[in-house]
Chain A
Amino acid sequence: MEFLNLTLAQFLVTFGAVAAFSVALYLLDRTRRRLVVSTLRFWVTPGQPAPVSRNRKVNQPLSLLLQLLGMLLLLLAIAEFQFGGTLNKRRDHVLVLDTSAWMGASLPGANNGNTLMDLVRANALGWLRAVPPSDRVLVVRADGLATPATSWESDRRKIARAILESQPGATALNLSQNLEFARELQRQSGATAGEIVYAGPGRISAREANSMSLPPIPAFRILNVDDTVENAGLRSVGARRSDTDPGTWDILVRVRNYGKTARLANVTLNFGKAPMGLHPLELAPGAEKETVFKVRTRAAGILEARLYPKDAFAADNYAALELPEQRVLHVVAYTDQPDLMRPALASDPRVNAEFRPKSQYTPANDGLVILDRFHPQTSPQGNVLWIDPPSDKPPIPIRERVEKPEGLRWIPDQPLTEGLRARNTQIESASVFEMGPGTQRIAEIEKGPVLVARTSDDGKTRTVVIGFNPFAGTMRYELTTPLLLANILRWMEPGVFREVDVATQSTGAVSAPVPAALTRPAERNAVQVLTDNGTVLPFNIRDRAVQFFAGEPARVRVIAGNSERVFSLTLPEMWDTKWTAPTNARKGVPAWTDTFRRSHTIWPWLALAGLGLLLAEWIIYGNFASSRIHVVKSASVKSGLGSAA
């Protein structure tokens, strides 16, 4: 409670003075009055006791009460009494402005380029005009995230500016999160909670619709807009190297019809501005279809997918993704037995194997050098695979040479031993190495390690030393040998053998599958989510998938072990379903009467009540009462005359 025009002390003093004056007048008027009359004889009935004076100090106390109450109400009106203090009186409203990607759609039948966003802005401004001036408003731009556009603001120009500057985003609306955020803002504001107003069409994703839980909102208002827009759009464009032809990309394009009528959509694909094909798709209302293009190229380039005909929402009619170059590992093998080694290296198209005799040795190395039982005078640069190095000047000190060793065992949980499960592999002979600092044990026998790996101190070069010849004896026929070689090649140049998927899809929440081994907490360091500029995005691994969120268009790389997925998040995140508002929510812009009803200005009512009480007191106890008695009295006298006559 508070007074706008008077302080409490001023009010009490004023009311005290008025009340005292009124009581004094009342006592003068209503206490025993002296009156000269013609006779006293009729007041005393003969044979009956005289009427007893009750000696009351105050007669007609209700009259005094009505007078005091009336004057109190009038004084409260003059003081502009209000319920609630200044803080409590002011109410805080949150305007949740839908800035999802869908807001960029053109209005049906609009030729001036107006979009749904313009309609939402107009509704929001209309609502803002109806908000009482003393109330504060906070504008939240709602898409996949809740972004406050203003602080608690009572300056209508600032709020209007924030509304007008709101633009459609790139993500779909996450309504429950935005409303929860708005409710939390109201709780923390400290003032009386006003309305939470959602301005938008209420298009949400199926994911949110399935698990939607709106917070309890006492005053929820919806400024709905009509968004019956016919639209078909690209949902995603994915590129993956063909399993059968490494020089070919499989391009998967998914299209959805968001409208209510069936339509024919033509998907065109360009690579480096060269047309790659056109696929027509018949789309039923709400249906989603996919089509596959094949693009044969090893070069990097921009792949563009377009959807025709153009419709009201152009943002999802075009998608582009950047295809990476297909790299090849150049392997130079210095061996006297190239025929034994060739099948293992030629099996992978990403490996360009070159076999040279030892006499042609050169230390130059742009990929991987395999030295088969050979030790050059000058060690090669870069990555080197030593196979059964001679005992003189070995890359790793040799402790001893063991003939026909048994019990070969692969050290588990190593990238180099992935998939190697064979036991008791027969080896003709093997060198047992001395383990030094930085040396990694890969395989061992009872007398020590026979296969080790080492990474240089600067991490640029890697060396694997095999203390036996896997292409000799019975081991050459076992699966272990090509698996071991494949592991070594992948470990040496992981970038070449990494499986690359490129996809263009919508911004917002993204989920990418990862190998099961990487879902273990210990292996999570092998997962990275990076943008093009190197920014590390926060992510979560759940259900064997990496989940992250991109609030704006970006290219994001998800690196998980030997796989890399490149997400070109340029498509807008679209809705799946329309949200149904709760029945108790208020709809539309409030009328001025509603504003007046919610207004805290009660002094006119107080003034009316006060005047009403004073009028009632005057009618019941005042001069009006006397004149009324007078009229009745005259009538009775006349009737008395008639009887007397």
Chain B
Amino acid sequence: MPNPLLDRHFLERLERLTIHWQRSFPGLVGGHNRSNFAGGGQEFLDHRNYHSGDDLRAVNWRAFMRLDKMFLKMFQIEPRVPVRLLLDTSVSMSATGTPNKFDYALQLAASLCYVGLVRLDTIEVLPFSNAIHEGKTCGGGRHRFTPLSRFLEGLKPAGSTNFLAVSRQFLNDFPQRGLVIVISDFLDEAGCEKALQYIGDYGNELMLIQLWADEDRTPPWSGEFDFVDAESNARLHIHVDADARRHYTEAFDLFSASIKTVAMRNNGKYTGLPTSLSLEEAIFGSMARTRSIA
């Protein structure tokens, strides 16, 4: 059955990708690094006595036959770099564009999660608007993608964006450093740069993915308009002409540059994606060029 968010052919193409980050986190590795902690890994570490309730699959039956005593095999635990994906679900994400930014963000998040699942990374999907809502942790292989997909499909855009509150909540809930992927339009009336800087200052690596609809950057309209802010319901009476449109685009590009500056300043990555760009081109083109994924 084809996945409603991503089709099978696209998923097959995603399987050869890996999420990349630049920073080295002490004690944490990616899917290909060994760990000294015992746990449910693939590599044998030691034996211990069997206690009631242990997984019988880990009992060393050869030793039991020879010694008539049950020993449990212990394997290396492979602590992973935590990957957290902050997904903007504010109303602004669905205000404009065809497809709108929210749908595009869901597809992009699903794609990144699938890449992570294939590489056995654990990704915490955290939807947010003015606060972080209930998330979903996905890990353990590609067969775990379907629950994640259902989770994403269940998300609805609501609320206004408050990056500062979200960053505070994030730092409180997730003190362990890791890779923070933010998929958002970053349209917060209070500004998002300081909040993003907080997250970076706590040792997290930032991968900022800015989405915009075409009319968000280059509005096509001319004439008299009564613009309504999708999140705050603020109104602006304005006459749009070529001059106004040019100034708007310049301001938008300046804003995008400031977000990019935050990412660069924290050794992170920035990718700007218009929703008119196909998802395939966005991942295999734009994000690959920024080495966010490869």
Q: Is the CB of A35 within 8 A of B251?
A: no
- Given the known A-B contacts A50-B236, A641-B274, are A32 and B224 also in contact in the complex, defined by CB atoms under 8 Å? yes
Shortest Cβ gap from B122 to chain A (Å): 29
Q: Is the CB of B228 within 8 A of A52?
A: no
B253-294 contacts to A (CB < 8 Å): 253, 255-256, 260, 270-274, 276-277, 286, 289-290
Shortest Cβ gap from A29 to chain B (Å): 9
Residues on the B chain within 8 Å of A42, using CB: 248, 251-252, 255
Q: Is the CB of A637 within 8 A of B217?
A: yes
Q: Is the CB of B251 within 8 A of A45?
A: yes
Shortest Cβ gap from B62 to chain A (Å): 56
* A391 close to chain B: CB less than 8 A: no
* B65 close to chain A: CB less than 8 A: no
Q: Is the CB of A45 within 8 A of B247?
A: yes
- Given the known A-B contacts A33-B226, A38-B230, A42-B252, are A52 and B239 also in contact in the complex, defined by CB atoms under 8 Å? yes
Q: How far is the CA of A126 from the CA of B187 in the complex (A)?
A: 82
- Per-residue interface assignment for chain B, residues 236 to 256, with 1 indicating a CB less than 8 Å from any chain A CB and 0 otherwise: 111100001001110111011
Shortest Cβ gap from B192 to chain A (Å): 11
* A630 close to chain B: CB less than 8 A: yes
The residue of chain B having its C-beta at the shortest distance from the C-beta of A633 within the complex is B218
Partner of A43, one of B248, B260, B274: B248
Most buried by B among A37, A38, A43: A38
Q: How far is the CA of A318 from the CA of B104 in the complex (A)?
A: 111
The residue of chain B having its C-beta at the shortest distance from the C-beta of A621 within the complex is B222
Interface of A is mostly: loop
Q: Is the CB of B244 within 8 A of A43?
A: yes
Residues on the B chain within 8 Å of A630, using CB: 214, 220
* A479 close to chain B: CB less than 8 A: no
Q: Is the CB of B286 within 8 A of A641?
A: yes
Q: Is the CB of B290 within 8 A of A645?
A: yes
Q: Is the CB of B286 within 8 A of A34?
A: no
Q: Is the CB of B238 within 8 A of A30?
A: no
Partner of B96, one of A31, A38, A54, A59: A38
B175-216 contacts to A (CB < 8 Å): 185, 187, 189, 212-216
Residues on the A chain within 8 Å of B10, using CB: none
A20-63 contacts to B (CB < 8 Å): 30-45, 50-56, 59-60
Q: Is the CB of B223 within 8 A of A33?
A: yes
Q: How far is the CA of A641 from the CA of B214 in the complex (A)?
A: 12
Q: How far is the CA of A40 from the CA of B219 in the complex (A)?
A: 12
* B221 close to chain A: CB less than 8 A: yes
Q: Is the CB of A51 within 8 A of B238?
A: yes
Q: How far is the CA of A640 from the CA of B260 in the complex (A)?
A: 13
Q: How large is the interface on B (under 10, 10 to 19, 20 to 34, 35 or more residues)?
A: 35 or more
Q: Is the CB of B238 within 8 A of A43?
A: yes
Partner of B225, one of A33, A633, A638: A33
Q: Is the CB of B239 within 8 A of A51?
A: yes
A589-645 contacts to B (CB < 8 Å): 626, 629-630, 633-634, 636-638, 640-641, 644-645
Interface of B is mostly: mixed
Q: Is the CB of B244 within 8 A of A636?
A: no
Q: Is the CB of A41 within 8 A of B274?
A: no
Q: Is the CB of B225 within 8 A of A32?
A: yes
Q: Is the CB of A38 within 8 A of B185?
A: yes
Residues on the A chain within 8 Å of B1, using CB: none
Q: Is the CB of A645 within 8 A of B286?
A: yes
Q: How far is the CA of A633 from the CA of B245 in the complex (A)?
A: 11
- Given the known A-B contacts A31-B224, A41-B189, A45-B247, are A634 and B238 also in contact in the complex, defined by CB atoms under 8 Å? no
Shortest Cβ gap from B96 to chain A (Å): 5
Q: Is the CB of A50 within 8 A of B238?
A: yes
Residues on the A chain within 8 Å of B189, using CB: 39, 41
* B174 close to chain A: CB less than 8 A: no
Partner of B229, one of A30, A40, A56, A644: A40
Residues on the B chain within 8 Å of A39, using CB: 92, 187, 189, 216, 229-231
The residue of chain B having its C-beta at the shortest distance from the C-beta of A643 within the complex is B253
- Per-residue interface assignment for chain A, residues 50 to 81, with 1 indicating a CB less than 8 Å from any chain B CB and 0 otherwise: 11111110011000000000000000000000
- Given the known A-B contacts A43-B238, A43-B244, A645-B290, are A637 and B228 also in contact in the complex, defined by CB atoms under 8 Å? no
Q: Is the CB of A38 within 8 A of B92?
A: yes
Residues on the A chain within 8 Å of B277, using CB: 637-638, 641
Q: Is the CB of A36 within 8 A of B244?
A: no
- Per-residue interface assignment for chain B, residues 72 to 115, with 1 indicating a CB less than 8 Å from any chain A CB and 0 otherwise: 00000000000000000000110110000100000000000000
The residue of chain B having its C-beta at the shortest distance from the C-beta of A637 within the complex is B274
Residues on the A chain within 8 Å of B244, using CB: 43, 51
Q: Is the CB of B187 within 8 A of A59?
A: no
- Per-residue interface assignment for chain A, residues 198 to 231, with 1 indicating a CB less than 8 Å from any chain B CB and 0 otherwise: 0000000000000000000000000000000000
Shortest Cβ gap from A626 to chain B (Å): 6
Shortest Cβ gap from B239 to chain A (Å): 5
Q: Is the CB of B229 within 8 A of A37?
A: yes
Residues on the A chain within 8 Å of B227, using CB: 35-37, 40, 43
Residues on the B chain within 8 Å of A30, using CB: 223-224
Partner of A37, one of B224, B230, B273, B276: B230
* B234 close to chain A: CB less than 8 A: yes
Q: How far is the CA of A43 from the CA of B220 in the complex (A)?
A: 13
The residue of chain A having its C-beta at the shortest distance from the C-beta of B260 within the complex is A644
Shortest Cβ gap from A56 to chain B (Å): 7
Shortest Cβ gap from B164 to chain A (Å): 16
The residue of chain A having its C-beta at the shortest distance from the C-beta of B224 within the complex is A32
Shortest Cβ gap from B97 to chain A (Å): 8
Residues on the B chain within 8 Å of A60, using CB: 222-223
Residues on the B chain within 8 Å of A38, using CB: 92-93, 95-96, 101, 185, 187, 212-213, 216, 229-230
Q: How far is the CA of A629 from the CA of B234 in the complex (A)?
A: 27
Residues on the A chain within 8 Å of B230, using CB: 36-39
Residues on the A chain within 8 Å of B96, using CB: 36-38
Partner of A41, one of B95, B187, B237: B187
Residues on the A chain within 8 Å of B185, using CB: 38
The residue of chain B having its C-beta at the shortest distance from the C-beta of A57 within the complex is B224
Residues on the B chain within 8 Å of A32, using CB: 223-226, 237
Residues on the B chain within 8 Å of A40, using CB: 227, 229, 234, 236
Q: Is the CB of A36 within 8 A of B220?
A: no
Q: Is the CB of A637 within 8 A of B224?
A: no
- Given the known A-B contacts A641-B274, A644-B270, A645-B289, are A36 and B228 also in contact in the complex, defined by CB atoms under 8 Å? yes
Q: Is the CB of A37 within 8 A of B272?
A: no
Residues on the A chain within 8 Å of B239, using CB: 51-54, 56
Q: Is the CB of A35 within 8 A of B213?
A: no
- Per-residue interface assignment for chain A, residues 388 to 412, with 1 indicating a CB less than 8 Å from any chain B CB and 0 otherwise: 0000000000000000000000000
Q: Give the interface of A toward B (CB within 8 A).
A: 30-45, 50-56, 59-60, 626, 629-630, 633-634, 636-638, 640-641, 644-645
Q: Give the interface of B toward A (CB within 8 A).
A: 92-93, 95-96, 101, 185, 187, 189, 212-231, 234, 236-239, 244, 247-249, 251-253, 255-256, 260, 270-274, 276-277, 286, 289-290
Given contacts A38-B187, A53-B238, A59-B224, 9 further A-B contacts (CB under 8 A): A37-B219, A38-B93, A38-B213, A45-B247, A51-B238, A60-B222, A634-B214, A634-B276, A641-B286
6 A-B interface contacts by CB (under 8 A): A30-B223, A37-B215, A37-B229, A39-B92, A42-B251, A50-B236
CB-CB nearest 10 A-B residue pairs: A32-B224, A42-B251, A644-B272, A38-B92, A633-B218, A39-B187, A53-B237, A34-B226, A637-B274, A59-B223
